[in-house]
C-alpha cells in the first residue's frame, strides 16, 4: 500500500520526511521500495522532488533532509508499484496546469479499466493508471469550467463526482491541490487532523513522516494534515469514510462532501 500525506496551513510550515523512518520502510525489506515524491507549493509555484529509487539509498531524499522547505500546501506519496514500471515518469505526485494554476495529484490504489475513460487536452507521460486518472479528471474540470467557477462549491462537487466515478473502477484515495486548496478523497483509508497553536510539546511525529512546527509558530497558526494512517497515537485523528471528499484551505476544513 502506498502512503499519502498532505498538509494545508495558513502560514508556511516545515514538512520533513523522517528519513530514518523512510530508510526502514523504503528499504530493501520495506514495502515502499518503488519511489517517492513530494510537491511543495510556494505561492502559485510548486517545487517537486521525485525519486524512483528506494528512499533508503536516494540522494534526493538526502538532499531534502538537509533542506526543509516551508510551504502552505504539500502533497507527498510513497510508492509501491502495481501498475507501470518503476521509473521517474511513473512517480507521484503528477502535475499539470489549468487556469494558470499548477495542479498536483497523488493516488493510492488501483483503477483497472481507467484507460477506457476518454482523455482530452492532457496525455499521460508515464504508464500508470494514476496519471491517466489525473489527466481524465482534469479534463472533466476543463470541459465543465473553461474558466474557474465563481462559486467554488460547483468545482468541489465536480471533483467529488469524478472521484466517485473513479471509485467504481477500484480503489482511489486521492490528494489533489491547486495551490490554494487541498482536496482529499477517501476510498478506503485516509485520516486527518487540524491543529492550532499553541502546539505545545506534542509535535506531530512519526517514524515515517513528521511536521516540524519549530519554535516559530504563532497563536494564529492552523495546520491540517491528511495521511493514510494517523501519524501520532496520542491525538484524535478523524477517519474519512469511503466517498468522503474533504476540502481544506489555509489549514481549515471548509467543506466535507459525503
- Just list the catalytic residues: 2
Asked if 144 touches a second copy (CB under 8 A), the answer is no
Asked if 122 touches a second copy (CB under 8 A), the answer is yes
Q: Output the CA angle 177-35-135, nearest 5 degrees.
A: 40
Is residue 227 helix, strand or coil?
A: strand
Q: Which of 31, 43, 113, 214 binds a second copy (CB under 8 A)?
A: 43
What mask, x for binding a second copy by CB under 8 A, covers residues 82 to 101? -----xxx-x----xxxxxx
**For residues 33 and 96, which CB has a smaller minimum distance to a second copy in the complex?**
96
Can you read off the three cell numbers belonging to residue 154? 460547483
In the DSSP assignment, the letter for residue 92 is S
Asked if 253 touches a second copy (CB under 8 A), the answer is no
What mask, x for binding a second copy by CB under 8 A, covers residues 150 to 189? ----------------------------------------
Check if the beta carbon of residue 34 is closer than 8 Å to that of residue 219. Answer: no
152-167 helix and 129-144 helix, angle to the nearest 10 degrees: 140
Can you read off the three cell numbers belonging to residue 17? 520526511
Size of the site for a second copy (CB under 8 A): 30
Asked if 214 touches a second copy (CB under 8 A), the answer is no
* 132/32 Cα distance (integer angstroms): 21
**For residues 99 and 207, which CB has a smaller minimum distance to a second copy in the complex?**
99
In the DSSP assignment, the letter for residue 197 is S
* 213/108 Cα distance (integer angstroms): 27
Asked if 45 touches a second copy (CB under 8 A), the answer is yes
Asked if 239 touches a second copy (CB under 8 A), the answer is no
* 140/4 Cα distance (integer angstroms): 23
Asked if 47 touches a second copy (CB under 8 A), the answer is yes
> Least CB distance from residue 115 to a second copy, whole Å?
13
Asked if 118 touches a second copy (CB under 8 A), the answer is no
> Least CB distance from residue 78 to a second copy, whole Å?
18
Q: Which of 20, 31, 57, 63 binds a second copy (CB under 8 A)?
A: 63
Q: What is the per-residue burial (b if ≥16 Cβ within 10 Å, else e) of 7-44?
A: bbbbbebbbebbbebbbbbbeeebebbbbbbbbbbeee
Across-strand partners of 6?
Answer: 75, 226
Asked if 102 touches a second copy (CB under 8 A), the answer is yes
> Least CB distance from residue 44 to a second copy, whole Å?
5
* 37/45 Cα distance (integer angstroms): 16
Q: Which of 29, 59, 116, 118 binds a second copy (CB under 8 A)?
A: 59
Positions in the binding site for a second copy (CB under 8 A) = 42-45, 47-48, 50, 59-60, 62-63, 66-67, 87-89, 91, 96-102, 121-126
Amino acid at each position: 500500500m502506498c502512503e499519502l500525506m498532505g498538509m494545508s496551513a495558513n502560514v508556511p510550515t516545515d514538512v520533513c520526511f523522517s528519513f530514518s523512518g523512510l530508510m526502514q520502510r523504503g528499504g530493501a525489506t520495506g514495502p515502499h521500495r518503488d519511489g517517492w515524491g513530494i510537491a511543495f507549493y510556494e505561492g502559485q509555484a510548486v517545487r517537486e522532488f521525485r525519486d524512483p529509487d528506494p528512499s533508503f539509498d536516494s540522494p534526493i531524499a538526502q538532499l531534502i533532509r538537509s533542506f526543509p522547505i516551508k510551504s502552505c500546501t504539500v502533497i507527498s506519496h510513497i510508492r509501491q508499484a502495481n501498475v507501470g514500471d518503476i521509473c521517474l515518469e511513473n512517480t507521484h505526485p503528477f502535475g499539470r496546469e489549468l487556469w494558470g494554476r499548477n495542479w498536483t495529484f497523488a493516488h493510492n490504489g488501483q483503477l483497472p479499466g481507467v484507460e477506457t475513460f476518454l482523455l482530452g487536452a492532457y496525455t499521460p507521460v508515464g504508464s500508470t493508471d494514476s496519471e491517466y486518472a489525473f489527466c481524465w479528471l482534469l479534463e472533466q474540470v476543463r470541459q465543465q469550467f473553461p474558466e474557474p467557477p465563481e462559486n467554488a462549491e460547483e468545482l468541489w462537487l465536480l471533483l467529488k463526482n469524478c472521484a466517485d466515478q473513479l471509485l467504481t473502477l477500484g480503489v482511489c484515495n486521492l490528494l489533489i491541490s491547486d495551490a490554494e486548496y487541498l482536496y482529499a478523497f477517501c476510498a478506503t483509508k485516509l485520516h486527518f487532523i487540524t491543529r492550532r497553536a499553541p502546539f505545545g510539546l506534542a509535535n506531530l511525529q512519526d517514524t515515517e513522516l513528521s511536521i516540524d512546527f519549530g519554535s516559530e509558530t504563532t497563536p494564529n497558526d492552523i495546520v491540517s494534515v491528511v495521511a493514510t494512517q494517523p501519524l501520532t497515537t496520542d491525538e484524535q485523528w478523524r477517519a474519512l469514510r469511503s466517498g468522503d471528499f474533504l476540502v481544506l484551505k489555509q489549514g481549515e476544513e471548509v467543506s466535507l462532501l459525503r
